[in-house]
Structure 1
């Protein structure tokens, strides 16, 4: 196992899909597949055994489906970034995955460069949602919450709202620091405070909160 490479676990109940993905992914010099799983329970076991950086997670799997696996990963605080790779282009599946805290969502009929780009993005801590699915997600959220106005916690400062907006745009702490002309340590403190105030545990959930509460339209 090369520690300099992005370590991948593929969880899918179709062996041909797993092997095809493995061959595709390992054409890249910086990525390797360290394990495969054919159902949700095996995926959880191999997450602990192999400690991958990124999990490619199908939704339709026996024993434990992908969304339930995602819930367990969050519940157990397993340090792996999750990329849902699925045939489901219905926005409800994406909406549920984002609410749970997925880092990425890509359809199986996407071009290979989309998948590779998504893997690299979420390995860096960014959120990657396939663009056409992202637009559907935002419409779904705006429609669901159209009757609401922003109910931003009064304790959130203007600077924290600026940071939260940039999180929603997918920026990393270093990039936020550059954009706002503040130190990376200060950004890290703001992010920690934001998470506590809006009661979320990761950047994806924070982005969902910002969209639901119209924070992305404030400035």
Structure 2
């Protein structure tokens, strides 16, 4: 089942570097070429996570996005390489996995490792482009079912400064936070509540500030613990 997050894969960010990681050179070239055309990004392909060399990271520099192929890869070894790599890099970087076997059920571990999205081995190129676009806009790319299932389970594995339960949220902010935790993207939230996307973004900014979180995953974890 494809995620229900809605987003356009066109013209999302002017400066994005896509790094396709994996040993299938032909496949990686094709995927990279497709994402370049759909998103308007620069990019490279490399065999392993450790060989991914990032550019930017400072203000006004490109955003980096690693899309990692999991086909014929030892998953435990991949987690180890990602953990080492994350200790050595800084700056604005997103990670996603593709060619994932659904039966592996790695969503919980992926979330705990800070992976922003998962693309299964039956995911189309157009859906991958749509998902990359959504992640670059600050969304998560997991199915709603897996997101709901994993949120409470991975909460102890994540470390962030959680505000007190008495944090004041308006009724509208609670509505939006609940939808975020259910896997809705900004457009879907706007359509559901009959408000503009700009208004949704303003509410999300205020929610993040009040909860002292920086992304949808952390906000969703807070909601799973405190709004259920």
Superposition deviation, residue 179 in structure 1: 6.8
Evaluate the alpha carbon distance shift between residue 143 and residue 46 of structure 1 in structure 2; reply closer, same or farther with a 3 A threshold: closer
Alignment of 1:8 with 2:21, yes or no, is no
Superposed counterparts of 1:44-123, under 5 Å: 45-46=53-54, 51-59=62-70, 60=73, 65=78, 68-69=81-82, 72-73=85-86, 76-90=89-103, 92-123=105-136
Structure 2 partner of 1:41 = 50
Aligned Cα RMSD in Å? 4.2
TM-score, normalised to structure 1's length? 0.67
Larger deviation: 135-144 or 74-83? 135-144
Residues 214 and 187 of structure 1, relative CA distance in 2, 3 Å threshold: closer
Query: Does the CA-based 8 Å contact 2:69-2:99 persist in structure 1?
Result: yes
1:125 deviates by: 1.4
Q: For the structure 1 residues 38 and 61, does the alpha-carbon distance in structure 2 shift closer, same or farther, using more than 3 Å as the test?
A: farther
TM-score by length of 2: 0.65
Kept in 2: contact 1:34–1:52 (CA 8 A): no
Structure 2 Cα separation of the partners of residues 14 and 36 of structure 1:
10
CA distance in 1, matches of 2:41, 2:137: 16
Q: Indicate the residue corresponding to 2:159 in structure 1.
A: none
For these two proteins, the number of residue pairs brought into alignment is 198
CA pair 142-5 structure 1, distance change in 2 beyond 3 A? closer
User: Greater relative contact order (Cα 8 A, min sep 6): structure 1 or 2?
Assistant: 2
Query: Given that residues 66 and 93 in structure 2 are in contact (C-alpha distance below 8 angstroms), is that contact kept between their aligned partners in structure 1?
Result: yes
* Structure 1 unmatched ranges of 5 or more: 146-151
Q: 1:186 to 1:121 in 2, by over 3 A?
A: closer
Unaligned runs of 5+ in 2: 1-12, 156-162
3-state DSSP of counterpart to 1:156? coil
2:160 is matched with which residue? none
- Kindly indicate whether the alpha-carbon contact (under 8 Å) linking 2:16 and 2:62 is maintained by their aligned counterparts in 1: no
SS in 2 for 1:13: coil
